[in-house]
Chain A
């Protein structure tokens, strides 16, 4: 890429932003912990010690155990795999749909654009949370279906952002020059349009991940998301709420983990936005 100075500037600004850096490092640590969970976790996520039952944090079980005597730390580590996987995969789905939709609408303009964007407008007004619940009820609580359903909901804003960017690019000379030279549509998108809108896409994708994780946790909390024996952070919070009166740690630690993760992702996303586009920054 020959616009490396933009990215170099952005990285320099990002490194100077302390909140964003702490957020980014936290996210990386979480990803590493999640990937290596089977080796790091002191116990298996399904290992039960029924004699022990629910026990408060101790030397053997750093974060305590749940009602079935399962180690909470291990379950949190395994839960991170599911929660982060949902976050990244569903965001990926949203990214693919939203970027393609936005590029096509913005680049071709005219009637194509107005029909495509009207569809987005209409979809914006629908209660998607209800449709996801509906899908989960009809097709069973399948984790891959959950990814697809959440991704299929979150692409709308991405499509709008990408479209606006493409419209700005379309009339620039290098795009027109490429058109005159007879560059085909696909390679136009890939070589000339996409590299120039990577910034906004990266920013919005980073900010979509926490939203997606929130949606998954919401469904799992209601019992309509991830099903046992697998557990996401949302499921753990659900179990924590059920027994919070006697076993506060079962709510506090999963809740804290989830909140810190959302904080980290949001701070990193905000920092990335400020770094790539200093104009939108408040300060």
Chain B
């Protein structure tokens, strides 16, 4: 177990370094300097600007300066917002994005597991077909359509919930969290239904029934442990997907989180901001994938044997 952990971390570190380096050099390939879009400035000012942002140093020096900054969490200054550093923007945006992702994940897990397990238990009845049809809807209606429709219905027509903002009006966290969580609830429902159906047909469940255990404890104590494994291994990719979804949801609901900063940086060609957030997002996603793989190993003795 410890071996696996160490091996996985030893792979993750070089991957992260390669990702960071590739991003760094890719950004340098971009046409034009970071200040080209601004008003024309004298060569002297341009020179001072380049010096201030360390752009006049040889490329390899820039690279080592940048990488040694990244290690201690310093992603350099923002090109677009003078006086603000990329790290500062990450630290202000991140808690909001995390909070949003957390609520969305809670909604997805609760709703998804409940309806998936129920559908598996009541297979081929209305309680199976109905949630699964909704789940198909959740997979086919993308976040960027679901969000505006919810806003149109609950925010504009019914006027029961705020249409934008975060932590400013009562209930303004509800719509973004539902929008972001719904698609994942759908995936989790399908995964847990499939996993449960597989487990429920096995011998040890029949044994548990023969022992006279109540249906409730058969499901919660015996079936769910194995049946929900696919959901656990989906958690890593889901968290990565939630980050992508946060780009859309934060844009729609005008939430000042890291996702919106990233999209804005992409529009403004704020190269240092893009570089910093890309490296940061990659590190986070690699970390969460690691976590979900380890959780599967902990929960599934069979996966441990195959190592």
Contact = CB atoms under 8 A, between A and B. Distances in A.
A263 B140 contact: yes
A125 interface: yes
A164 interface: no
Contacts of B26: 134-135, 138
A184 interface: no
A244 interface: yes
A133 B24 CA distance: 15
B285 A263 contact: no
Contact of A222 (B263, B277, B289): B263
Interface in B1-40: 11, 15, 19, 23, 26-27, 29-31
Contact of B152 (A127, A221, A251, A258): A251
B156 A217 contact: no
Interface in A106-151: 122, 124-127, 129-131, 133-140
A245 interface: yes
Interface residues of B, number: 46
A224 interface: yes
Tell me the dominant secondary structure on chain A's binding face: helix
Given A133-B266, A138-B30, A125 B15 contact: yes
B23 A134 contact: yes
Contact of B156 (A223, A237, A245, A266): A245
Given A126-B19, A134-B26, A263-B140, A222 B145 contact: no
A134 B286 contact: no
A214 B124 contact: no
Interface in A210-265: 210, 214, 217-218, 221-224, 234, 237-238, 240-241, 244-245, 248, 251, 255, 258-259, 262-263
B274 A262 contact: no
B117 interface: no
B252 A137 contact: no
B142 A218 contact: yes
B136 A137 contact: no
A154 to B, nearest CB: 14
Interface in B210-228: none
A244 B252 CA distance: 12
A258 B29 CA distance: 35
Nearest to B132: A282
B144 interface: yes
Contact of B282 (A126, A210, A244): A126
Given A127-B282, A138-B27, A217-B144, 13 more contacts: A126-B19, A126-B286, A127-B285, A130-B278, A134-B278, A137-B274, A224-B263, A224-B266, A237-B144, A237-B148, A238-B144, A263-B136, A283-B124
